[in-house]
A and B are shown apart, each in its own frame.
Chain A
Amino acid sequence: MANDRRAQLLSGNEACVRGALAAGVRFFAGYPITPSTEIAEGLAAALPKVGGTFIQMEDEIASMGAVIGASVAGAKAMTATSGPGFSLKQENIGFAAMAEVPCVIVDVQRYGPSTGLPTSPAQGDIMQARWGTHGDHPVIALMPSSVRETFDLTVEAFNLAEELRTPVILLLDEIVGHMRERVELPPDEEVHVVNRTKPVEGPETFQPYKPGPNLVPPMPAFGDGYHFHVTGLAHDESGFPTGRGQDADRLVRRLHAKIENRQPELARAEEWQLEDAQIVVVAAGSVARSARAAVREARERGIKAGLLRPITAWPFPEKAVREAARRAAPMIVAELNLGQIVREVERVSCGETKIVPLNRLDAELITPAEILERIQEVAAHVG
């Protein structure tokens, strides 16, 4: 490891700030909450220096509303919160999905339900990220497990939000958010940044919700000279509500299709030591770090274990999980909750293999030793 000053010690939350800035964020509205507060602090310091705006709002509901407004006005916009605030933001997240407003919502998960244990880790919001707002809506949620990956996935969250005109959720957990590690960040010019597509045609004939070739309508900013209506009511291509079921059907199916069409490249998992694995550990976020250590240790003891790490919680990496299940290797699903990822693993694997949940609920990270022990138990049956 080179001793140069590009290497630095950063927390996940700090890396999220750097990633947002590299992606071009110009607006943050939020209400501080542990363990996400460093993201608000970092952007409060940084945004004014790049001509951006930081607002500490009166609450989480208003901050989500402000983020939507800023995005419609043309700014790359985000907020950051934790479980209790994430609950409050849900209604407006649904609005952003329906009105196709690009934005990034960071949820640094802490122990719940309710105010729970404010400074302790959990992964209890995986299903809330998927189904927290009502109605049928598509969701993208990314789940980094290291500081560097937090930087990269923050950039990607903005890119996907802008390209697909959709809210994107970045699901950290307290450990990834607060942990500091040695990291080297790329210079800004090496960061791939996507901006939303603006309309080519003039304001006279412009239909604000007429989809482009990727099913995403081009998006002008308020102030660009285009007049358009933004609503959470089901609307047609004019942007105005019609009250007709068939228009709503067309709209909601398109909202899903624009993301499902991208599913093959979007739904991602890291597959590590899986080729010959007889036991697969499924783990995401901070828990994947323990899982990797456990797999390493198991291999040293002659047990062929592997790691399947969902990088996108949503869309769930169905293909990777299905293929692993078809190889009939038992799967240990380790998570800091009472079983959320495991439901998806069970659904996708259709009973083709044995699934062993490993859950911890005492506000501590699952240790490599606990996972190794479970691997050894399962191996005894496989052997």
Chain B
Amino acid sequence: MTTIEVRLSGFGGQGLITAGIILAEAAILDGKNAVQSQSYGPEARGGASKAEVIISDGDIDYPKVGEADVFLAMSQAACDKYAKALRPSGILIVDTDHVKNVPAFSGKTYSVPITQIAVRETGREIVANIVALGVLVGLTGLVSREALETAVLDRVPPKTKDLNKQALAAGFAAAEEILGKEGE
């Protein structure tokens, strides 16, 4: 039985809980089991926000993530707090627009200007969470790209479908570029 634990953390308002929900829905579309949980402060925006997703072929009892296999950090505070809670062989993805000090880590680290890509490719910072999902899935293959796209389009408001599709494509492209360079 394989179980993958993912943590997404940043500021409230970045849409990371939505991103966690979409990732879990994509896993279900792929025929897997998934649990998503979250923690957040009482503020609507600006406070710390964390979403956790567990994807498994089997039952999932404990719904929280201890040591993550994959951690996406979209704020310095989140990165400082949770980089330690990564498996030694895990994957750390940081948004370089928000994380300036990337901690040394025994696993794999990817530094990606996620928010900048969102602004550059779509003109809208608000879809940085969807760009992040494209990057994360592009780099890790946690769920299929088709399932992720379906899950994104199912979850977002109808008028924003094109915008989110664009954001997801930009995330996938960024991941391909990184993996392409690694392959050189």
- A contacts, CB < 8 Å to B: 1-3, 7-9, 34, 118-120, 175, 178-182, 286, 289-290, 292-293, 296, 365, 367-369
Contact = CB atoms under 8 A, between A and B. Distances in A.
Nearest to B23: A9
Contact of B28 (A9, A367, A369): A9
B42 interface: yes
A290 B31 CA distance: 24
Interface residues of B, number: 25
B66 interface: yes
A357 B123 CA distance: 55
B34 A181 contact: yes
B63 interface: yes
Given A9-B36, A178-B38, A3 B31 contact: yes
Contact of A9 (B21, B42, B66): B21
Given A1-B31, A3-B29, A8-B28, A181 B42 contact: no
Given A180-B35, A365-B63, 4 more contacts: A3-B30, A34-B42, A178-B37, A182-B34
A181 to B, nearest CB: 5
Contacts of A178: 37-38
Nearest to B36: A180
Interface of B: 21, 24-25, 28-42, 57, 60-64, 66
Contacts of A119: 39-42
A9 B34 contact: yes
Given A1-B32, A3-B29, A118-B42, A179 B61 contact: no
Nearest to B38: A178
Nearest to A181: B35
A368 B32 contact: no
A269 B40 CA distance: 32
Contacts of B61: 289-290, 292-293, 296, 368
A3 B32 CA distance: 8
